[in-house]
Amino acid sequence: MICGIPDFRLAPDPYIGIEEDRDKGERLLQASEGRSYEEMLRYYYEITEEDPPDLARHWIAHSLAEPEIARKVMRASGLLPQSRSSGLSLLDIGCSTGGLLIAADNAYEELTGLDVAFRWLVLGQVRLLEAGVRAKMVCANAESLPFAEASFDVVTATDLAEHLRDAATAVRETARVLIPGGKTVWTTNNRFALLPDPQIRLWGVGYLPRRWQPAYVALRRTDLHIFKVQPRSAREMRKLFEIGGLRNHYTEAAPIFAPHLGAMANRALRVYNRMRRWPLIAALSKCLGPRLWTLASR
């Protein structure tokens, strides 16, 4: 137990060692007294010099909008009950600072957030306390969940698949901890989207062979850490769920919500969200659209 968070990791975060991550988490906890979540988020990027300022501003805006985004995604996927149900439990894998847990608070009695990044969970504690949300925060690998079989009614995984060492094993673990009939939703950025990569804002990364992607990103962004993200295609997501054992699944273009991008962008997104279900648009969006989701049940 460190900073009130149990650490069950068997492997480190891709970008930082376990001890370094713990030290950073403790530093963040010490700095959190008297600071709001937004102030802590900005402080985090001030002390994280390897994250370029332009991308940090983008990531901060997205993080602050996460509860609203997550609420809309969960409602669209049918996983946000109108009222809290007795005993209903949710696990959010790759929870980051807990935005989805805040969105799910009024619908689920038991909330658990899990992430490999210890430092983000420390920030998540600040965020949950500020929002008045009670949830368990656990540091562990998605490929080795520290929970018994059939522990959760719902498992969510937002923008997780592209960051995993072994995504198929993580899907298998998701199936293991779901109750019979339990549901899961995984969202991911589409590898073959026609738009720039939303995390690093570069065109064409996903179209390159995986082994070339880090060199291409390093050439275009000399100020960025080594690129270790693996954006997924619809076909790749389908294969992951077949290998992982959740066979009752389907992958399609996901709705997109971005309240932090302004009125004009959101008007365009509302049009897209309606059109993505039209047969021809649905087929094209599944191949080339910005976002995908896979919904499944055990």
Q: What is the pLDDT of residue 226?
A: 85
Q: What is the pLDDT of residue 131?
A: 98
Beta strands 178-189 and 291-297, pairing class: antiparallel
**What is the per-residue pLDDT across 247-269, written as a single tens digit (0 to 9) for each?**
789 999 999 999 999 999 999 99
Does residue 239 sit within a domain?
yes
**What is the per-residue pLDDT across 115-124, written as a single tens digit (0 to 9) for each?**
999 999 999 9
Report the amino acid identity of residue 220: R
Query: Does pLDDT of 242 surpass 80?
Result: yes
User: d(Cα 178, Cα 192) in Å, to the nearest integer?
Assistant: 30
b vs e for 141-166, b when ≥16 Cβ sit within 10 Å of the residue's Cβ? bbbebebeeebbbbbbbbbbbbbbee
Radius of gyration from C-alpha coordinates of the chain? 18
Does residue 40 sit within a domain?
yes
| Averaged pLDDT score across all residues of the chain | 95
Does residue 7 sit within a domain?
no
Residue numbers of the domain that contains 269:
18-297
Q: What is the pLDDT of residue 82?
A: 82
The mean pLDDT of 229-245, rounded to a whole number, is 93
Q: What is the pLDDT of residue 72?
A: 97
More confident position, 207 or 83: 207
Q: What is the pLDDT of residue 85?
A: 72
The mean pLDDT of 264-275, rounded to a whole number, is 95
More confident position, 171 or 81: 171
Does residue 236 sit within a domain?
yes
Q: What is the pLDDT of residue 60?
A: 97
Give alpha helix (H) positions in 111-198.
118-131, 167-177
Question: pLDDT confidence of 166, banded at 50, 70, 90?
Answer: very high
Question: pLDDT confidence of 134, banded at 50, 70, 90?
Answer: very high
For the chain, the domain total comes to 1
**What is the per-residue pLDDT across 62-95, written as a single tens digit (0 to 9) for each?**
999 999 999 999 999 999 988 777 789 999 999 9
Q: What is the pLDDT of residue 279?
A: 93
Q: What is the pLDDT of residue 246?
A: 86
Q: How many CB atoms lie within 10 A of CB 135?
A: 23
CATH code (residue 73)? 3.40.50.150
The mean pLDDT of 232-251, rounded to a whole number, is 92
Does residue 2 sit within a domain?
no
Question: pLDDT confidence of 208, banded at 50, 70, 90?
Answer: very high
Does residue 238 sit within a domain?
yes
Query: Does pLDDT of 141 surpass 90?
Result: yes
Does residue 9 sit within a domain?
no
Which uninterrupted H or E stretch holds 213? helix 213-220
User: d(Cα 94, Cα 160) in Å, to the nearest integer?
Assistant: 6
The mean pLDDT of 118-132, rounded to a whole number, is 98
Does residue 30 sit within a domain?
yes
More confident position, 91 or 223: 91
Question: pLDDT confidence of 227, banded at 50, 70, 90?
Answer: confident
Which uninterrupted H or E stretch holds 70? helix 53-76
